[in-house]
Structure 1
Amino acid sequence: MEKKTYTSTEGLLEAGKLNELRKLLIGLSQEELNRLQNLLNDPHEFAEELSTLLPYAIRKMIEKGELTVDTLLPFVEDAMHKSIQKNPQRLADILFPVMGPAIRKAVAEDLKRMVAAINASLETGFSPKTIKWRLQALISKRTFTEIVLANSYVYHVSHVFLIHRETGLLLREELAPESQPLESDLISSMLTAIRDFAHDSFKSATPGSLDEIQVGELKILVEQGPFAIIAAVIEGQPPADYRLTLMETIEAVHFNHGIDLEKFNGDTSSFVHTSKFLQTSLIKEKKEKKVRPPYILIVLLIILLSVAGYLLVQRIQRNSKYTEFASKLESIPGYHLTSYSIKSKSIIIKGLKDRLADDYSQIASDAGIEASEIKMHLESFISADSAIVIKRAQRALQPPAGVKLWFDKGVLYLSGTSSQEWQNAFEGKISSIYGIDGIDISELNQQKVDLKWIIPSIEKQRFLFEINVVSLDSQQQIQFDSLVKAAVNLDAYNQLYGKKLAIYVRSFTNRNGNIEANERVASKRAEEFMTLLEQAGVKKELLKGQVLFAEDLTESVYLRSVHFAVFDTKPTQE
């Protein structure tokens, strides 16, 4: 038993030594020899193993020059041609995942550009700007689309990166003053990764490079150099010649730092001076839209100004109307104004009023002023105006129809005929009439059998004036008193003898110089005499003013003079 165990152990040792000797001689383990045997015996297993090595073998042969692409190209073309002829649907299925999205993207981009062009044309289709651009296109012999794009793009280069081509390290970054810093190292790593991915995934017989990346409205333009690349981050659509700017920049960097780039060891301090080249690429052109005038605000402003102007004109007209009313009120006998003020839509008048004074409602109506707009604060007083004194005398004396009263310089004159009883009664009432200093009854109850002395007394009066003078001087006032004594008897004579005589107040002028001014001054002289005669007691209906030009008369007269003529107002009977 012990002998048998010894023999088995010895066999195992011999087998182990045999395997070790086999491994030393062949270099393969038993498992490896079995796998190699399977490859030789099974063609399918051998083909699968060879398929993993064949690409590397072809690449090595191409690198050694033992095999070229031109040598393989006929075999590949023949194989593809036969495959397409045999089963074209298979190639279509293979290309579908690639061609489908590419076609959709191309169509989408074309549609997007078409919509943008239509929108731009609609927005500016009938504007003056469009007409100007069409003229530019006609003169420059360029298409309208080119002119629109040339006048509409807006771009802004915010960042420029200088990246080492071989290592992908960021050498220098420049950014616009108004731009926010970016993760520069991440961006350079991203560009390098995308470049390597494109290089490894899309091999081509001709060398290529990554030129542009579009991210929404941002665009990254990349320009390659032998040892470095430059990348610019752009907002908007840059002009076509901007890539030339990038090329000039990368050329300038290589010209001035070519040795540093070729022998780059990771130290970026030597590229600080490239800033002056990179900054030339930080350009922008933002066409600010013309601010449209605030039409609504302008219209509102015009409306406000119109309303304010209307209110201002209304206020000025109202104030003028109130001022004119106050002036006319002051001229009415029996009124004396101490002050007046205009507030909002009313006039406040303070002063004095005789109880015999005429009512002011007529002049207020003529001025277009409502009674509610007038606020009167008038105290009673006794006026010494001639018209008021005559009214006061008439109320106190109650003269008969044949008695005429007029007042001048404190003296009350009476003329005409009356009964002796009335004459005896009124003498006791004279002292109670305020404003009368004396009384003259020499003309009372004096019969005048003819008009010869009255008419000459009136018609002989001649008043001469200086240029533009209307009022009477002291000498003319004495002459006027003589006129009054004759004129006041005219109404009494008409009553006694049934006549209708009246007085022409004739003011003479000529047509030399300003005719309208001459006529206006002459008219004022006639009106002045009529007012004075009326205040002295002559009835208004017995006075009639005339302005006569010397050129229209057959007899000579003094210019700037006033004459008087008595005429019969009763129409002649045939």
Structure 2
Amino acid sequence: MSDSSMNQIPKVSPEGLKSNSQTSETKDELTILRSLLLDIEPTKLERLYERLENPEIQAEDISSMLPEAVILRSKQDKQLGEVMVTTVEEAIQASVKQDHNVLADALFPVIGPATRKAISAALEEMMQSMNQTLEHSLSPQSFQWRLEAQRTGKSFAEIVLLRTLVYRVEQVFLIHKESGLLLQHLVTKQVTIQDPDLVAAMLTAIQDFIKDSFSVQKGDGIKSLRFGEVTIWIEEGPQALIAAMIRGNPPQELRLVLQEAIEKIHLKFSREIKNFAGDTELFEPSKPDLEACLVVQYKSAAKKNYTYAWILLSVMAIAFGTWGFFTIREQLRWRNYLQKLNSQPGIVVINSKQSFGKYFIWGMRDPLAVDPNTLIQQTNLNPKTIISQWQPYLSLETEFTTKRVKKLLHPPPSVSLKVDKNGILNATGYASRQWILEAHKLWSFIPGITQFQDKNLVEIELSQLEEYKKQIEQKILFFVEGTVELNSGEVSKLPNLTRSIRNFLNIAKYLDKDVQIQIIGHTNNTGTEQTNMLLSQARAEKILSYLKSQGINTKQFQIIGLSSNQPFQPQLTSESQNVSSRRVSFRVSLANKSD
């Protein structure tokens, strides 16, 4: 660095540097001291200096205090609201002029329910007034009431209400006896009321005046007061009383209602009444009991006498409607009779007409069809006015064809006959051979029958024959070993066996069947083969001899003896297969003679 540059740097003496440093340190110390003493930051202090230099009130200050100030002022009096009315109205007008949709959107949730409620209340009142007016506007008494309304200056509806009202409890007061203060008060709709507290105080004052002015017994009190059409009934309890303001002439039954109400209130609120200190909100739950006292009763509408009007109408109806009534009734009965005839099977109406009070019918009728005279009785027509001509004919309807079949063939109860729409006669069930043969001969003579089907018809005799065959083959007779003597108890089987064989042979002869009954003797393995053969044959011959002795023709019987080496297994039951082989069994063969 050159000497010239060195010369350009200002020279600072050591004393100057020292004085500057002392000044800055002093300022910092004052700032610290000020913050410690006043507890104010420099920024806040600067704001205070600015506020002192400019003492005018700022909008920010007012906005922070305005809500609280409005609340406090509103509690003091109504002056703030009265002052703001004009401002609010101007603000609403300006808002509507600027954009009416804003106010409309704000009022939309409220205006609908409010309008509906107002309209509903107005319609209810109008309908009540209209009902009462219409009910009494056409009676002779209504003219007197209209004159009274004009004379007194009252409305016709009000006069009607007063003249039809028997009594009505318009107001009910619940009063504390000791203090005379009003606990609860209920009033009927559309009744003008005064200050209820004042009324309660007056009633209490009247009671006190009478008690102080006259010698009355302890516990006595005023029961009723009357002022013109208004009556006040009072029912007292131990701690409270009910006063009912009644218009009209109440019945004594109403006192029971008041007594029940005061008893219920004492039962529910005895402690609250005893400790009453001016708070009436505790008695809000008593309103339902007091509402039961707001009773109203109107005069029942007198029954209107329309005797003369009904007589006049009856005469007119008789004069102008008798002939038409009977004519229409007869026509309806006649049509009903024709419909019944046409709906009956086996009856065909060809022509009908009516002339001079007589009815004429021409047609055809099946002899098995219903009698038309019975239908006349059902329709309440006079049989003497009906002249009918019926030509007989045979109806081919299934119903009548079936009747003719049963009438001609006389089927037994075990046979069912049915005719289909094609005229085919189907027979099912069980019948004797004789009846089946007769049916085959006669069915072709029945009108409407084109074919006779008896494939499902079984001869009773054939069924019985099979049943007896089965009974015979199931019979087994057991013998004592080595003898031809029957075991004990086997003899009792012989009568049933004889009966079955006799019936079987008789039915087989009637049906022209070839029959063969084999009597088969059996032995066990005891003894020689030759001995067993002779023994088995001897057992079969003994049974055959018994049958002969019972008068049975044994020409169709065959004796078979089986040795122990020739076992023969007839049709035995499961029980008989487990018994001894010392037995006699039967086997029956059945065939047609043509075979």
Verify same fold: TM over 0.5.
no
TM-score (norm 2): 0.25
